[in-house]
Chain A
Amino acid sequence: MSINATLIGQMIWFALFIWITMKYVWPPLQKAMADRQQLIADGLAAGERGKHDLELASKRSADTIREAKEKAAGIFAEAEKRGAQMVEEAKDTARAEAQKVYDAKLAELEQDTERARSALRDRVAELAVAGAEKILRREVNAAAHADMLSGLKQEL
Chain B
Amino acid sequence: MASGETLNITQYIVHHLTNLKVGSGFWTWHLDTLIVSGALGLLVFGSMAVLASRATSGVPRGWQNFFEMVLSFVNQQVKDTYHGNHPLIAPLAITIFVWVFVMNAMDLIPVDFLPETAKAVAVNTVGADPHHVFLKVVATTDPNLTFAMSITVFLITIYMNFAVKGVGGFMHEIFTVPFGAKLAPVNLLFRVVEEVARPISLSLRLFGNMYAGEMVFILIALLGIWQLPLALPWALFHILIITLQAFVFMMLTIVYMSMASESH
Contacts and interface: CB of A to CB of B under 8 A. Distances in A.
24 contacts: A4-B28, A4-B30, A5-B28, A5-B29, A6-B30, A6-B34, A6-B144, A8-B148, A10-B34, A13-B38, A13-B41, A18-B88, A18-B92, A18-B152, A21-B91, A24-B48, A24-B53, A25-B49, A25-B94, A26-B71, A26-B91, A30-B71, A32-B56, A32-B57
A28 interface: yes
B36 to A, nearest CB: 11
Interface string B142-185: 11110111011000000000000000000000000000000000
Interface in B77-94: 87-88, 90-92, 94
Contact of A13 (B37, B64, B67, B88): B37
Interface string B15-36: 0000100010111111001100
A17 B41 contact: yes
Given A18-B92, A21-B91, A6 B57 contact: no
Prevailing SS type, chain B contact patch: helix
Contacts of A17: 41, 45, 95, 99
A22 interface: yes
A105 interface: no
B11 interface: no
Given A13-B37, A36-B57, A4 B90 contact: no
A35 interface: yes
B149 A5 contact: no
A39 B57 contact: yes
Interface of A: 1-11, 13-18, 20-22, 24-33, 35-36, 39
Which size bracket describes the interface of B in this complex?
A: 35 or more
A24 B48 CA distance: 8
A10 B60 contact: no
A33 B68 contact: yes
A36 B58 contact: yes
Given A18-B91, A20-B45, A25-B45, A6 B145 contact: yes
Interface string B124-156: 000000000000000000111101110110000
Nearest to A22: B91
B223 interface: no
B52 interface: yes
A14 B27 contact: no
